[in-house]
Amino acid sequence: MAALPCRAHIRLQANVVQQAGSVLPEIPASPPNPSLARGRRERSESLRDFYVKAVKTPSSLSLLTEALRRLPGIGPKSAQRMAYHLLQHDRDGAAMLGRALFQAVENIHHCSLCNTFTEYPVCEMCLDEERDKALLCVVETPADQLMIEQTLTFKGRYFVLMGRLSPLDGIGPKDIHLEKLINRATDGNVSEVVLATNFTNEGEATAHYISEMLKARGLKVSRLARGVPVGGELEYVDAGTIARAMLDRRAT
Ligand SMILES: [Zn+2]
């Protein structure tokens, strides 16, 4: 049988209820003004829509960060740091960068003969009548082309693949414009093709593929020699390079 509450216990419970009532606001059974309640509900709904939209729509800052992440070697943290730097310390530079990017994308295309970047249908180097039409050097990128030009040792013309064969990355013959290279190499002027692709596995595979393809069309094909770098000491050169240098040795 449950014990009945004593008189003091009942008084204590009554005090607790009274104190709580003095602190908490009273909740009306029904809204005092229906139009006021409707206004509050509409404001609340529009506020919720605003936050939902803000979460779903990427901000300008996140769009900028995502765009910067497209640069090679740039991860999310670096992209964020670059975006903050441009916006906080170099807004003029950021505007200049935006304009330059837009202009470059609008105006720069591939040369119809050598495939390098140019603002004209045919690049200046292909139009240069003083360059040797019989020699055609095949490189992977415009940066490689520039490096060879800086040596002042090659006076022929170029073909820029804009890449290299890489089956693992899904890059096949069509992606490096080999049809265009065949057309250039068999135009009747070229007598020797110099393969200057990189000495990486992909670069070597690309050179071998192009070599077979062009030899089958009766063209003379040569490859850049490999060896000890200028100023290099044999003690510090890797064994693979010394081995290639030994195989490719020539009479002095
Ligand atoms: Zn060109």
Contact present, 113 and 126 (Cβ < 8 Å)? yes
Ligand 1 centroid, distance to 68 Cα (angstroms): 30
Confidence at residue 118, expressed as pLDDT on a 0 to 100 scale? 95
In eight-state DSSP terms, residue 236 is G
Residue among 196, 204, 132, 191 at smallest CA distance from 159: 196
pLDDT digits (tens, 9 = 90+) for 114-150: 999 999 999 999 999 999 999 999 999 999 999 999 9
The average pLDDT across 52-61 equals: 71
Report d(CA 112, CA 128) in Å as an integer: 15
Which residue do the tokens 């064994």 mark? 239
Q: For 132-157, b where at least 16 C-beta lie within 10 A, e where not — what string? A: eeebbbbbbbbebbeebeeeeebebb
Ligand 1 centroid, distance to 172 Cα (angstroms): 22
Ligand 1 centroid, distance to 129 Cα (angstroms): 12
Own/partner long-range contacts of 211-216 (Cβ < 8 Å, ≥24 apart): 213/178, 213/182, 214/182, 214/185
Ligand 1 centroid, distance to 220 Cα (angstroms): 21
Which residues lie below 8 Å from residue 117, measured CB to CB, with a gap of 6+? 108, 109, 110, 111, 123, 142
Ligand 1 centroid, distance to 111 Cα (angstroms): 5
Which residues lie below 8 Å from residue 9, measured CB to CB, with a gap of 6+? none
Confidence at residue 21, expressed as pLDDT on a 0 to 100 scale? 47
Ligand 1 centroid, distance to 178 Cα (angstroms): 15
Ligand 1 centroid, distance to 104 Cα (angstroms): 17
Report d(CA 66, CA 80) in Å as an integer: 9
Characterize the bridge pairing of strands 220-223 and 192-195.
parallel
Report d(CA 189, CA 134) in Å as an integer: 5
Confidence at residue 36, expressed as pLDDT on a 0 to 100 scale? 72
Ligand 1 centroid, distance to 97 Cα (angstroms): 27
Contact present, 134 and 190 (Cβ < 8 Å)? yes
Ligand 1 centroid, distance to 218 Cα (angstroms): 23
Contact present, 186 and 217 (Cβ < 8 Å)? yes
Contact present, 80 and 65 (Cβ < 8 Å)? yes
Of 181 and 10, the structure prediction assigns the larger pLDDT to 181
pLDDT, mean over the chain: 85
Ligand 1 centroid, distance to 245 Cα (angstroms): 33
Confidence at residue 198, expressed as pLDDT on a 0 to 100 scale? 94
3-state secondary structure of 210: helix
Residue 98, pLDDT > 50, answer yes
Ligand 1 centroid, distance to 158 Cα (angstroms): 7
pTM, to two decimals: 0.68
Residue 11, pLDDT > 70, answer no
pLDDT digits (tens, 9 = 90+) for 181-231: 999 999 999 999 999 999 999 999 999 999 999 999 999 999 998 888 888
Ligand 1 centroid, distance to 138 Cα (angstroms): 12
Half-sphere exposure of 175 (CA within 13 A, CB side): 11
Confidence at residue 171, expressed as pLDDT on a 0 to 100 scale? 86
Own/partner long-range contacts of 170-178 (Cβ < 8 Å, ≥24 apart): 173/209, 176/206, 177/115, 178/210, 178/213
Q: Can you give the three-state secondary structure of 61-102, one letter per residue?
A: HHHHHHHHCCCCCCCHHHHHHHHHHHHHHCHHHHHHHHHHHH
Ligand 1 centroid, distance to 120 Cα (angstroms): 9
Ligand 1 centroid, distance to 121 Cα (angstroms): 8
Ligand 1 centroid, distance to 194 Cα (angstroms): 16
Lowest mean pLDDT among 5-19, 97-111, 230-244: 5-19
Predicted confidence band of residue 85 (pLDDT cuts 50, 70, 90):
very high
